[in-house]
Chain A
Amino acid sequence: DVKVTQSSRYLVKRTGEKVFLECVQDMDHENMFWYRQDPGLGLRLIYFSYDVKMKEKGDIPEGYSVSREKKERFSLILESASTNQTSMYLCASSVGQVNSPLHFGNGTRLTVT
């Protein structure tokens, strides 16, 4: 079974802090994703990576950056956290094929106060 592990289940940070969300997958998947999920808005893509050191902006990249130094790890960085970044963050991975589904981590509930 594919395992996608997110480092924290719950996180509380203060406005202006730099925040790192870590995600690791154990199935050698090429693709990794960061989404945020908010009530009524569904899943929105923040960033996508299709290979080590490769990244593409998603629908809402503003205020975020990412790092993929190793194939198994994809980090989401909030350079200066703001209250409107309070959300559920979901990491996912997939094989590099169009017909492959996403495998999600359990999510990180981030609260910025």
Chain B
Amino acid sequence: GQNIDQPTEMTATEGAIVQINCTYQTSGFNGLFWYQQHAGEAPTFLSYNVLDGLEEKGRFSSFLSRSKGYSYLLLKELQMKDSASYLCAVKSGGSYIPTFGRGTSLIVHP
């Protein structure tokens, strides 16, 4: 099976930078996904990492280290609308089925 860990809750200030970590244990790693989910809404896809390194997409970046089983999502210039739950998900063993972490609830305050 897979084990995915992320912090339950984080708080940050508008305009700041926040890093949300995700650690995983799996065999046959096929990629790691980050999703954003606003309260009462569906999760939406943010990023996909399969190779080591940093992928940047505007204010959001995602990093992967396969040897450490570690990823983080970096949010810069935080805005109030970034208050949401952030879900880390891993695919492995050639499966189409991702395993999700329990999500990190990010609260951005003024």
Residues of B within 8 A of A4 (CB): 42
User: A84 near B: Cβ within 8 Å?
Assistant: no
Q: Which of B45, B91, B102, B103 is in CB contact (< 8 Å) with A98? A: B91
Q: Which of B41, B44, B89, B96 is in CB contact (< 8 Å) with A48? A: B96
In the complex, are the beta carbons of A98 and B30 less than 8 A apart?
A: yes
B interface residues, how many (CB within 8 angstroms):
23
Choose, from A11-19, A66-74, A75-83, A99-107, the stretch at the interface: A99-107
In the complex, are the beta carbons of A90 and B42 less than 8 A apart?
A: yes
User: B48 near A: Cβ within 8 Å?
Assistant: yes
Residues of B that sit less than 8 Å from A by CB: 30-31, 33, 35, 41-45, 48, 50, 87, 89, 91, 94-98, 100-103
Residues of A that sit less than 8 Å from B by CB: 4, 31, 33, 40-43, 45, 48, 50, 56, 58, 90, 94, 96-107
